[in-house]
Structures are given as C-alpha cells and as structure tokens.
Amino acid sequence: MRLFIAIDSDPALHPVLAQVINDLRSSGADAKWTTPPQWHVTLKFFGEVGAQAVPEIRDAVERLAASSPPALLRLNGVGVFGGLNPRVVFAKIEDPTGTLERLAGAVDRGMRPLGFHSDNHVFNPHLTLARLRSRRNAPALLDEVRKEAANRRGEWVARELVLYRSVLKPAGAEYEALHRSPLRLAGGGDHAKPQLNEARSDSR
C-alpha cells in the first residue's frame, strides 16, 4: 500500500481554496483539479509499503506527535512547480514559527530506524490545487497564478498528524486516514503560539 504522513487543511478555509481554484480554472488550463479531501500538507511520502510495516509506522507517528506542539500555518498565495512549463499548481503555506519545518524534520528522522531513507530535498510546504495534463492554455494559467500570488490569505493551527493510505483509482487517487495522532506537546512556548480556536480567512 502507498502511505504518507500529512497535516490536514482546516475545513473553515476550504471556501477560500475553492474560490482560488474557481478563479484559476477560468484560464482553461488542461488540469486535474483537486478537491477538499485532497487538501493536505505532505510531510513524508513512503511510496509502497507492506501491510506488516503499518503498526510500526503508526506507533512512530504517535510518538512524534506526542513530542510536538501544534503548528500555526498560513495560506499565502499561489505558485507552480515547473516554471514556464507548469506541472503542478499549489497554494503556498507559510510556517511563521518554523514549527512545521521542525516537525517534518522530526518525522523524517523518526522513520530512519524503520528503514525509510531521508528525503533529500528542501521542505516546501504546500497544498496541491491542480496537476497539469498538457501545456494547453499554460500562459493564461500563469497569468491567473500571478494575479492570485498574494491574493488569498488565511491561517489555522494544525493539531494532528495523519497517516494516510493513497489508493490509485481510474478517477484519481483517493486517501484513507489510517491513524490520527494529536500534536500534544504542552508548554511549547513560542513555537506553539498563537493558540487559535478556529481557522481565520481573509480574502483580498
């Protein structure tokens, strides 16, 4: 089975993300647009993993979450992977306290004893909004991305790690949450602040 560890987006911000996608779709780009169940921030992708490894991974996620504080995250514009030949459109995630980056590093290190290699790339937190199937109307899409670059903002506090299973189907991948672990380190100091009760969005 294909597994990954992620942080969920907050449902209170889904109308903001849906509006961003609606605006980007006006470009007529040849893209597969994501939906709310796919709006998460991936911290570690394992690829194919045998079912026998799931309990060990689940237990490791639980330990990591127990020693990590909640993370303040912000939606901060839109970007693309691929430059002038975009392959992926994403919502940028700002990590103002650095808590998410530290958590991603801890997850990566925590999985090494289980035989999983480290990710050899710079951590770039994001929510995938679309995957391009071709370059049709790509210039128009990039124009829309530039308009949205700093246009939609919102913030939320991530409070749990989720171990997901990705199931590939003809219509696209579907995600099943196998385990949820609260981020429950108390006394996290500035790394865990501010403590917000709910997400806040600000469409501009």
Q: What is the pTM of this model?
A: 0.87
Strand ordering across the sheet containing 40-48: 40-48, 2-8, 160-169, 172-182
CB proximity list for 91: less than 8 A, separation 6 or greater: 17, 20, 75, 77, 78, 126, 127, 129, 152
pLDDT per position as a tens digit, 171-203: 788 999 999 999 987 544 343 343 333 455 554
Kindly state the tokens that stand for 95: 């990590």
Please report the domains of the chain, with CATH numbers, ordered by start residue: 2-193 (3.90.1140.10)
pLDDT digits (tens, 9 = 90+) for 109-163: 999 999 998 887 889 999 999 999 999 999 999 999 998 876 667 999 999 999 9
In the chain, which ranges are E strands? 2-8, 31-33, 40-48, 71-81, 88-94, 126-132, 152-158, 160-169, 172-182, 200-203
